[in-house]
Homo-oligomer: A and B are copies of this chain.
Amino acid sequence: MKKPIPSDPDEMSSLRSVPFQYLADTERVLTDRQRQDLIRIGMRVRLPARMTIYREDSPAQWVFAITEGAVKCYRDLPSGKRAVGAFLFARDLFGLAENGRYVNCAQTLALTTMYRLPVKELAALLKHDADMQFKFLMKVTHELREAQRRAILISRRDAAGRLAMFVAHMSTRDCPSVNTRVVSLPMTRSDIAGFLGLSLESVSRAAAELDHRGLIKFEGRHLAKIVDAEGLARLVAAV
């Protein structure tokens, strides 16, 4: 038995894009019960650095939730370049798929602990627990915002500005209120280049420039110290 519909039914039969507002912690943080449910269907996995978690086009059976460590998602392009789609850390989810197959490769950057969640069972769980699903939805939405931010980052022409935005973003990753002065960069320069859409050499030169300008001091390969936070913020804002 169908009620009259105030307008063409087909108009809203399918949806494409996405939007949403950011919510309070009560709407973001999982409850103990929800955590238990996830842990029940999942399996804890611990992998050393530089291990491939899955490859592009392979059957996507699992979704992964990082509890500790770092992961990169990348794709090897026909030209031989390697495009890094994202760096993932603790509390991040990954395993983006399409038509049942992963859309990119995932590899650990360091010793990483993660939960491996079977897609089927996770989907069933989410359909059953609308509250938890809403939290997932909020997370995806957040991720979408991040992707848009990155697109703006990439639109910059200057390599130094891109690297500055990258380091600034990494420094506020865990705790937006506290701008960490010391930023750990577990990925290689090559990975950063792939993420920023630059050549390895350009990243190296950009790092030298930021160092020379007294904004960021790079110590070793995996550590950056923000020297002039204000100057860095100025450069970052000069999009």
A to B CB contacts below 8 Å, 14 in the list: A6-B40, A15-B92, A16-B92, A17-B88, A17-B93, A18-B139, A20-B63, A20-B95, A104-B148, A128-B130, A140-B144, A144-B144, A147-B151, A154-B155
Are B12 and A143 interface neighbours, CB within 8 A?
no
Establish whether residues A22 and B126, one from each chain, have CB atoms under 8 Å apart when the complex forms. Answer: no
CA distance A96 to B140 in the complex (A): 12
Assess A38 versus B12: contact at CB under 8 Å? Given A130-B130, A144-B143: yes
Find out whether the CB atom of B39 lies under 8 angstroms from the CB atom of A14.
Answer: no
Chain B residue at smallest Cβ distance from A42: B12
A67 at the interface (CB under 8 A from B): yes
Give the residue name and chain of the B residue nearest to A30 (CB).
B13
Q: Mark A9-28, 1 if CB is under 8 A from B, else 0.
A: 10111111111111000001
Q: Does A212 contact B (CB under 8 A)?
A: no
Instruction: Say which one of A73-81, A177-185, A213-221, A222-230 lies at the interface with B.
Output: A73-81
A142 interface hit (Cβ, 8 Å)? yes
Determine if A99 and B22 form an interchain contact, defined as CB atoms under 8 angstroms apart: yes
**Minimum CB–CB distance for A75 against chain B, Å:** 7
Output the least CB separation between A151 and chain B (Å).
Answer: 6
Residues in A62-106 with C-beta less than 8 Å from chain B: 63-65, 67-68, 75, 77-79, 81, 83, 85-86, 88-89, 91-100, 103-104
Asked if residues A96 and B239 are in contact (CB atoms below 8 Å), the reply is: no
Is A127 engaged at the interface, CB distance under 8 Å to the other chain? Answer: yes
For residue A68, give the distance in angstroms from its CB to the closest CB of chain B. Answer: 8
- A14 to B30, Cβ gap below 8 A? yes
A135 contacts partner chain B, Cβ-Cβ < 8 Å = yes
Given known pairs A39-B12, A75-B152, the reply for A136 and B139 (CB within 8 Å) is no
Cα A203 to Cα B234 in complex, Å, equals 30
Name the distance in Å between A145's Cβ and chain B's nearest Cβ. Answer: 6
A60 at interface, CB cutoff 8 A: yes
Contact residues in B for A135 (Cβ distance below 8 Å): 15
Report if A29 contacts B (CB, 8 A): yes
Beta-carbon contacts under 8 Å, A113-139 to B: 115, 119, 123, 126-131, 133-137, 139
A151's partner among B68, B98, B142, B151 (CB-CB below 8 A) is B151
